[in-house]
Chains A and B, each alone.
Chain A
Amino acid sequence: MVVGVMGVIMMAAPQTFTKVYRFVQLLTARVEIQKNARGALANINRDLRQAQGDTIVIDSLPNQPPHSRITFFKYSSAGVPVLMSYYQQGNQLFQARGGVSGKMIANNLRYIAFTYPRTDDDTILSISITFEKSTYEGGTKALQMAVEKVRIMN
Chain B
Amino acid sequence: MSALESLSRMLSGIAGRRPEGNLPAALPAAPAPARRRPGVTLTELMVAMVIMSVGILGMVGAFKFFNVGIQSAKTRSLANNIAQERIEFLKNKSYYRVLVTTQPVSDPNFAVGEMVYDLAPNGQESVNVGGITFIRRVLIRKVNEDSDKKLVPLSWDEPDSGLKEIKVYVVWKERGEWRKLEVRNLRENPNRVNLSASISGNVSESGGGALEGVVVRAQENPSKYAETDPLGNYSFTIEPGTYTLMATMDGFFTGTRPSFGVVSAQTVPSQNFTLTRMHHGTITGTAWVNDHLLVSQVVGSSVNSEGFSQEWVEVYNPTTWTWTMATGLNSGVVGLAYEMRNRAMEVIPLNYSTLTVDPQHYYLFANTGTVRAGNFNRQADAVYSNSAADYPNIIKTNTDPGNDAAGVAIGWLATLTGIDEVGWETGGQNPPLYKGTPIEQDIGLELNEQFVRKTSPGTLMPGVGRAYNTNNNDNDYFVLSLTYPPKNSANHENAVSGTPAYGAVVFADDNLSSPVTANSAGSFSLTNVSTGSWTVYASSGLNFSSVAYYGGTANGFSSSTGNLFLTSSTVYGYATGRVTDVNGAGLPNIKVFSAGSPQATTNASGRYTLPVQAGLVTVIANYRNQSPSYVEITSLDLTVGLGEVAKDVDFSLYYGGKIRGKVTTNGTDPLPNIPVVGLKNGIEQGSGISGTDGYFTISGSGVSTGTYVVMPQLEAGESASPSSTAVEVVAGQVAFSSTFTVSGAFGSVSGSVHTGSLAGPVITTGVLIYVTTAVLPPNSGPPTITAALRAGIVYYAASTNALGNFSIPVKGGYSYNVYAWYTSWRGSTPTTTRKDSTGLSVAAAEAKTVNFFW
Contacts and interface: CB of A to CB of B under 8 A. Distances in A.
A19 B63 contact: yes
A100 interface: no
Interface stretch (B291-299, B629-637, B762-770): B762-770
A102 to B, nearest CB: 16
Interface in A46-63: 54-60, 63
27 contacts: A5-B53, A6-B49, A26-B70, A54-B787, A56-B785, A57-B784, A58-B784, A65-B823, A66-B782, A66-B821, A67-B781, A67-B782, A67-B797, A90-B829, A110-B766, A113-B766, A115-B768, A115-B797, A116-B790, A117-B797, A117-B798, A118-B794, A119-B789, A119-B796, A146-B84, A146-B799, A149-B92
Q: State the 4 A-B residue pairs at the shortest beta-carbon distance, nearest first.
A: A128-B799, A90-B828, A111-B766, A115-B797
A64 B830 contact: yes
Interface string A21-47: 001001000100000000000000000
Interface in A85-131: 90-92, 110-111, 113, 115-122, 126, 128-130
B66 A20 contact: yes
B45 interface: yes
Interface in B295-348: none
Nearest to B829: A90
B766 A130 contact: yes
Contacts of B795: 116, 118-119
A100 to B, nearest CB: 22
Nearest to A132: B765
Contacts of B59: 16
A142 B764 contact: yes
A152 B809 CA distance: 20
B668 interface: no
A78 interface: no
A25 B583 CA distance: 72
Contacts of A80: none
B785 A59 contact: yes
B781 A148 contact: no
Contacts of B84: 145-146
B66 A126 contact: no
B22 interface: no
Interface in B74-131: 77, 81, 84-85, 88-89, 91-92
Nearest to B802: A144
A9 to B, nearest CB: 5
Given A91-B825, A113-B766, 4 more contacts: A56-B785, A116-B797, A128-B801, A130-B765
Nearest to A59: B784
Contacts of B461: none
Interface of B: 45-46, 49, 52-53, 56, 59-60, 63, 66-67, 70, 77, 81, 84-85, 88-89, 91-92, 716-717, 764-766, 768, 781-782, 784-787, 789-790, 794-799, 801-802, 808-809, 821, 823, 825, 828-830, 832
A106 B99 CA distance: 38
Contact of B88 (A8, A54, A148): A148
A120 B794 contact: yes
Nearest to A2: B49
Contacts, number: 144
B762 to A, nearest CB: 12
Contacts of B70: 23, 26
Contacts of B63: 16, 19-20
Nearest to A70: B785
Contacts of A23: 66, 70
B823 A9 contact: no
A63 B784 CA distance: 14
A142 B765 contact: yes
A103 to B, nearest CB: 17
B60 A12 contact: yes
Nearest to B803: A144
Given A20-B66, A63-B830, A110-B825, A118 B789 contact: no
Nearest to A64: B830
Contacts of B49: 2, 5-6
A111 B822 CA distance: 10
Nearest to B768: A113
A142 B78 CA distance: 11
Contact of A58 (B45, B53, B785, B821): B785
Given A58-B784, A146-B88, A119 B808 contact: no
Given A115-B798, A144-B81, A148-B92, A120 B717 contact: yes
Q: Select the residue from B63, B88, B799 with max chain A CB neighbours within 10 A.
A: B799
B657 to A, nearest CB: 38
A30 B832 CA distance: 26
Contacts of A111: 765-766, 799, 823
A90 B49 CA distance: 53
Nearest to A124: B92
A70 to B, nearest CB: 9
A153 interface: no
B199 to A, nearest CB: 36
Contacts of B60: 12, 16
Contacts of A118: 716-717, 794-797, 809
A8 B828 CA distance: 43
Contacts of A60: 781
A113 B801 CA distance: 12
A65 B808 CA distance: 21
A119 to B, nearest CB: 4
Contacts of B786: 57
